[in-house]
Structure 1
Amino acid sequence: MSIRQLPDTLVNQIAAGEVIERPASVVKELVENALDAGARRVDIDLEEGGVRLLRVRDDGLGIAPDELPLAVSRHATSKIASLDDLEVVATLGFRGEALPSIASVSRFTISSRRAGAEHGAALSVDGGRVGDVVPRAHPRGTTVEVRDLFYNVPARRKFLRAERTELGHIEEWLRSLALARPDVELRVSHNGRASRRYRGGEGEGLALDEGAARLVETLGEAFAQAALRVEHATTPRPADDGRDAAPALRLHGWIAQPTYSRASADQQYLYVNGRAVRDRSVAHAVKQAYADVLFHGRQPAYVLFLELEPARVDVNVHPAKHEVRFRDARMVHDFVYRALHEALAGTRAGNAPLVAAVTTQAEVSRELAARVAEQSSLSLRGDGVRDAYALLYGAAGGAAAGAGHGAGAAFGAAPGDGATAPGTAMDPAWPMVPGAHGPMPDTGDDGIPPLGFAIAQLHGIFILAEAADGMVVVDMHAAHERIGYEKLKTAHDGAGLRVQPLLVPQAVAVSEREADIAERETATLAELGFEVSRTGPQSLLLRGVPALLAQGDTEALLRDVLADLREHGESRRVRAARDELLSTMACHGSVRANRRLTIAEMNALLRDMEATERSGQCNHGRPTWTRIPLADIDRWFMRGR
């Protein structure tokens, strides 16, 4: 069979197969063109889910009559002119493929008028056959009308779903756009009825507080109430020693508190330089940041905007521009993780100031570092767990070791309840000593701390407290578990990571790719506690492992670390395994159900919650407390009616 040139119509239809999947793809391309043209209002009219009719009107710059044929020609665009432009793309569209691809699989009309022109002009394309430019009355801006999508490609049309499904895809994409561009008004009608309107004029990119209104409009009041504002940036570092300069990065937007989680990833929106994208590296960083505060199987919700130099991100890696490639994915991953990790650290019960926790960490780390090092040789099983827990919590309480005045001793379980935390002695004065277990939280004008003052214990499980605006209910075991867990993590971080040499070095069989990674990342593996060297094309020799995890399956852990380094350029497997062990210790050392606490003990626990990072959730992601407003209680009893 001889080689021949494909006709232009077929070339455009093939391109349409890459760019145009369904009506939502058409809406995306046309609305992005409108935004690139400076539109501040876009109207989208649909019939039968966009299959029968899809019309997009904007008030942008418009197109000159003599340029209309170029607009429906392949690779014709006003957005780039050279390779240099392609490396710093600042517009949503740039390929010049959308309009000719759409026009090749529909009955297509484009009408437009530039500002100052006497009249507009229109051009029709039927299945790729281009007509003539004709005069037409039109306000400033552009209207693109797409009828009978895929009418000439029946195999593609068969894959379209029901009208409601196709409309749902369009609405979801518009919701994503509305979050990114609150400055633009979007109006949607379906089958002649207005179905959605996003009011514009609130500042671009949700960077301003006014964008919160669009947040409620798109994701609902529940998300807005649970949202934590994120604003994190770095400054560029000058190049030295021949290395690339560290670029400026900025991450802003909202993340939902862990108590607001989803069964699916339906409220996860990421924008890179204003472009809505999917990125596995960033998604992994978010997942890692939520690792020990989210309930098992649940998904976080977020709206995040990542900004960096356009030259450091390649947007030309996906025909529909759904994905990007970062020049330094590891740097971006770490930056996103750190930003969200710090933001989630402030989700303490009662929303006490974040500064308190930072101070607490620094003080406790210095105090416990030496003591933790003394216990690092313990097996952390059986008596070892009890000894380490006693040592850590004895020091954390600010009293002499063994005196039983620490948080673990103060809320220790009663004899015979199966807990491993030592001691049950109580010092009535301990909860009342300022700074004994962290800085005292800020109080309101009425002198009442965020979680209020304890008044009773319910069924030996919950603490009831009177707060300034109602009643607070605390799950005492879950709360104490988080407090203990954070203290153990702080203590271990202060002591530093210790490597335990293996008495007999262990040979590990790996793939050649894994061996390459291990050889290349020797320094990174050493930072994680692994002393490993390559001994052959598909073999490694393990000489040392993280001391705290020496009793586990270190070979499997090493393989997981290598997989992470291959996939994401970094690994937190060691920290995750350590945290899992410390979480188990904290769980066993926490106050149990039916353990009767005095009012002083309950108040001490409340104050510790207010000073502890992430204390809004236990180690397993369950909430530790809830607030019942006084207004709700009034309604129960119909007071004031």
Structure 2
Amino acid sequence: MNTHSRHISRVIRQLDESTANRIAAGEVVERPASAVKELVENALDAGAGRIDVTISDGGKALIRVVDDGCGMTPQDLPLALARHATSKIDGSDLLAIDSFGFRGEALPSLGAVGRLTITSRAEGAEGAEIGVTAGRMQPLRPAAGNRGTAVELRDLFFATPARLKFLRSTRAETQAVVEVMRRLAMAEPGVGFTLHDDDRLLFRADPEPGDLFDALHARLARVMGRDFIENAIRIDTEREGVRLQGFAALPTYSRGAAVAQHLFVNNRPVRDKLLTGALRAGYFDVLPGGRHPAAVLFVGCDPHFVDVNVHPAKAEVRFRQPDLVRGLVVSTLRHRLAGESRRASDTVGAATLAAFRSDSARPMVRGYQMEYRPSTGAIRTAMAGQAPQGFGGDPGFDGFAEAPSGRVEEAPEGGTDAPLGAARAQLHQNYIIAQTADGMIIVDQHAAHERLVYERLKVQAEQTGIASQALLIPEIVELPEACAARILAVAEDLARLGLHVESFGGNAVAVREIPALLGRLDAAALIRDIADDLADQGASDRLRARVDAVLSSMACHGSVRSGRRMTADEMNALLREMERTPRSGQCNHGRPTWVKLSLPDIERLFGRKD
């Protein structure tokens, strides 16, 4: 490579407006879905009550957005196509932003890379139409139409053919447009949305009446699915001027990927590392590895508290007090999930019923395969009029723990009106059958007791602190200056978990003590991982996770084992403690500890109800 050419004097020149717009389009318009997002957000800022979108060829051939908003006058239309011209801010305060758009880049950028036509009419004004093709503006002309605006974009990226090569298949681009519409529909439940691919309806959400939660509840049932909203917890809390609202799904309604996580800041859909990390931390300890929570959360705050002008696409934000926002999300989710720990996800009960109904199907419960299937051998013997092996006809059967009367006696404390009912039997020395006022509960005794012991150990650790073990020779860890500063800033938090670090001069930190629970530990690797978490997310739960993993293992070994016969008193005592203990609905590995079957569902199994 000829490095001499780098030092040749070059003439500085002003780029023409068309070139500047094409460069800006590279930041604002990444793909057809980006164009749809910008145009629909403009419609929302115009106060539209209904927005209709039509695309063709995944948005590459056509994007048409029609709204019933305030519209524009003929005098406004040429200005709308000028860079950095906007009606949404006056430039005096770049933090006082309460609209989706404000940069004035979307329309000129779209006109620079495609064939753009805008038809609009404001209340009390004449309608007009203007077009721009590859940056060349056409004359303004009169047009008929109702109040509102219709924007039509054809042949996206025809002026920059190289960009077309980076687009994905029509199917993938169409799906990206659908996802944009879904997110914006969740942000504005009072607005109606439709999306057509030529003549095919891809998405529809009618305006939802009512206050925020009523409208959002109905909109999420339509957009996310009724199973999500039926298994979701309502979130509504506020701290120091920051409000968190929305719905978070129960841990038993989890997903295999982070596809059902939708986060909004002042109603703006965002993809923010701090918020996604806080969401993950909020579900820490109740989800198994490889599973992801489902949630739709809205963070509301004073516009001056958050900077939305971080990136031209406006999908990233920066909070003035990130620790406050993260702490609010994490603590709220943990508190609400703990309070709902006894509420089993409906998907678990539904899958259990499906397992009873079908001998051939083995339904999935959000990642867990249900194994409760009647054996064909038992069915054949029952049809032959014989008592199948494992039921009362077998003299050697010991699957039930029975009282002398032939049934499990209720313990004095807690009857069938208790949330988890009264124990009636024990199957296979592992499953407790409890009767409730309106159905029955099946409890995995080992999984349930494991969680109870684990929660007790965590409380003890919080009260007495995590015991630390001094290193004979302190471990010195060299870090970049910024990473060392981050580690030392959280030294007190680490000390409460048994990890004692201090400055060693320069960019080094010294690890003096480590948590005794962890035994042999690569302290240097742990410190570097924590530093990476702090740099990426502003916080780290890595050490907490390691300590909790050891406590979880201790709980597993100290809990009631599968195969142990329990008395009626023991089973009822376990049920009552589960009712008092947070997060008892899931074991330490995130699996459900109990399943509820309602009496009507049981009756349907036997044909007693339609």
TM-score tier by shorter-chain length is 0.7 to 0.9
How far did residue 550 of structure 1 move?
5.8
How far did residue 633 of structure 1 move?
2.3
How far did residue 474 of structure 1 move?
1.0
1:177 and 2:184 matched: yes
Alignment of 1:18-167 (within 5 A): 18-84=27-93, 86-117=94-125, 119-167=126-174
Q: Which residue of 1 aligns with 2:322?
A: 329
How far did residue 121 of structure 1 move?
0.7
Is the 2:469–2:513 contact (alpha carbons within 8 Å) kept by the matching residues of 1? yes
How far did residue 600 of structure 1 move?
2.2
Rounded Cα–Cα distance in structure 1 between residues aligned with 2:525 and 2:161: 51
Residues 574-593 of structure 1: CA deviation (Å, up to 9, x unaligned): 32222111111110011112
Rounded Cα–Cα distance in structure 2 between residues aligned with 1:287 and 1:265: 10
1:448 corresponds, among 410, 417, 432, to 417
2:445 corresponds, among 445, 469, 476, to 476
How far did residue 637 of structure 1 move?
2.1
How far did residue 496 of structure 1 move?
3.3
SS in 2 for 1:628: strand
Rounded Cα–Cα distance in structure 2 between residues aligned with 1:466 and 1:597: 17
1:208 and 2:213 matched: yes
Aligned partner of 1:587: which letter?
Answer: C
Of residues 625-634 and 553-562 in structure 1, the stretch that sits farther from structure 2 once superposed is 553-562
Is the 1:501–1:544 contact (alpha carbons within 8 Å) kept by the matching residues of 2? yes
SS in 2 for 1:251: strand
Q: Which residue of 1 aligns with 2:398?
A: none
Is the 1:182–1:203 contact (alpha carbons within 8 Å) kept by the matching residues of 2? no
How far did residue 553 of structure 1 move?
4.0
Identify if the C-alpha distance between structure 1 residues 526 and 634 changes in structure 2 by more than 3 Å, giving closer, same or farther: closer
How far did residue 63 of structure 1 move?
0.6
Identify if the C-alpha distance between structure 1 residues 456 and 521 changes in structure 2 by more than 3 Å, giving closer, same or farther: closer
Identify if the C-alpha distance between structure 1 residues 640 and 546 changes in structure 2 by more than 3 Å, giving closer, same or farther: closer
Aligned partner of 1:202: which letter?
Answer: P
Q: Which residue of 1 aligns with 2:501?
A: 532
SS in 1 for 2:251: coil
Q: Which residue of 2 aligns with 1:515?
A: 484
Identify if the C-alpha distance between structure 1 residues 571 and 528 changes in structure 2 by more than 3 Å, giving closer, same or farther: farther
Q: Which runs of 5+ in 2 are unaligned?
A: 1-9, 346-409
1:465 corresponds, among 416, 422, 434, to 434
Aligned partner of 2:104: which letter?
Answer: G
Identify if the C-alpha distance between structure 1 residues 72 and 538 changes in structure 2 by more than 3 Å, giving closer, same or farther: same
SS in 2 for 1:64: coil
Aligned partner of 1:273: which letter?
Answer: N
What is the TM-score normalised by the length of structure 1?
0.80
Aligned partner of 2:511: which letter?
Answer: L
RMSD of the TM alignment (CA)? 2.3
How far did residue 87 of structure 1 move?
1.4
Rounded Cα–Cα distance in structure 2 between residues aligned with 1:22 and 1:518: 40
Is the 1:232–1:252 contact (alpha carbons within 8 Å) kept by the matching residues of 2? yes
Is the 1:510–1:538 contact (alpha carbons within 8 Å) kept by the matching residues of 2? yes
How far did residue 64 of structure 1 move?
0.9
SS in 2 for 1:213: helix
Alignment of 1:54-453 (within 5 A): 54-84=63-93, 86-117=94-125, 119-203=126-210, 207-235=212-240, 248-350=241-343, 432=411, 448-453=417-422
Q: Which residue of 2 aligns with 1:391?
A: none
Rounded Cα–Cα distance in structure 1 between residues aligned with 2:132 and 2:476: 67
How far did residue 107 of structure 1 move?
1.4
SS in 2 for 1:261: coil
SS in 2 for 1:233: strand
Rounded Cα–Cα distance in structure 2 between residues aligned with 1:523 and 1:479: 34
Rounded Cα–Cα distance in structure 1 between residues aligned with 2:496 and 2:457: 20
Residues 247-302 of structure 1: CA deviation (Å, up to 9, x unaligned): x1111101111111111111000001111001111111111121111011111111
Of residues 562-571 and 322-331 in structure 1, the stretch that sits farther from structure 2 once superposed is 562-571
Identify if the C-alpha distance between structure 1 residues 219 and 228 changes in structure 2 by more than 3 Å, giving closer, same or farther: same
Rounded Cα–Cα distance in structure 2 between residues aligned with 1:530 and 1:603: 40
Q: Which residue of 2 aligns with 1:399?
A: none
Is the 2:344–2:595 contact (alpha carbons within 8 Å) kept by the matching residues of 1? no
Identify if the C-alpha distance between structure 1 residues 201 and 532 changes in structure 2 by more than 3 Å, giving closer, same or farther: closer
Identify if the C-alpha distance between structure 1 residues 575 and 519 changes in structure 2 by more than 3 Å, giving closer, same or farther: closer
Is the 2:431–2:442 contact (alpha carbons within 8 Å) kept by the matching residues of 1? yes
Residues 341-379 of structure 1: CA deviation (Å, up to 9, x unaligned): 111112322479xxxxxxxxxxxxxxxxxxxxxxxxxxx
Q: Which residue of 1 aligns with 2:513?
A: 544
Of residues 249-258 and 535-544 in structure 1, the stretch that sits farther from structure 2 once superposed is 535-544
How far did residue 67 of structure 1 move?
1.1
How far did residue 541 of structure 1 move?
2.6
Residues 150-172 of structure 1: CA deviation (Å, up to 9, x unaligned): 22222112222222221111111
Aligned partner of 2:12: which letter?
Answer: I
Q: Which residue of 2 aligns with 1:242?
A: none
Identify if the C-alpha distance between structure 1 residues 518 and 26 changes in structure 2 by more than 3 Å, giving closer, same or farther: closer
Residues 512-555 of structure 1: CA deviation (Å, up to 9, x unaligned): 44333344444444444444332232432333344544654444
1:604 corresponds, among 570, 573, 580, to 573
Aligned residues: 538
Rounded Cα–Cα distance in structure 2 between residues aligned with 1:508 and 1:193: 61
Is the 2:47–2:69 contact (alpha carbons within 8 Å) kept by the matching residues of 1? yes
Alignment of 1:8-19 (within 5 A): 8-19=17-28
Rounded Cα–Cα distance in structure 2 between residues aligned with 1:547 and 1:162: 54
Is the 1:202–1:211 contact (alpha carbons within 8 Å) kept by the matching residues of 2? no
Identify if the C-alpha distance between structure 1 residues 469 and 275 changes in structure 2 by more than 3 Å, giving closer, same or farther: same
Aligned partner of 1:341: which letter?
Answer: R
Is the 1:348–1:609 contact (alpha carbons within 8 Å) kept by the matching residues of 2? no
Residues 84-111 of structure 1: CA deviation (Å, up to 9, x unaligned): 1x11211100000000011111111101
Is the 2:273–2:536 contact (alpha carbons within 8 Å) kept by the matching residues of 1? no
Rounded Cα–Cα distance in structure 2 between residues aligned with 1:106 and 1:350: 53
Identify if the C-alpha distance between structure 1 residues 570 and 51 changes in structure 2 by more than 3 Å, giving closer, same or farther: closer
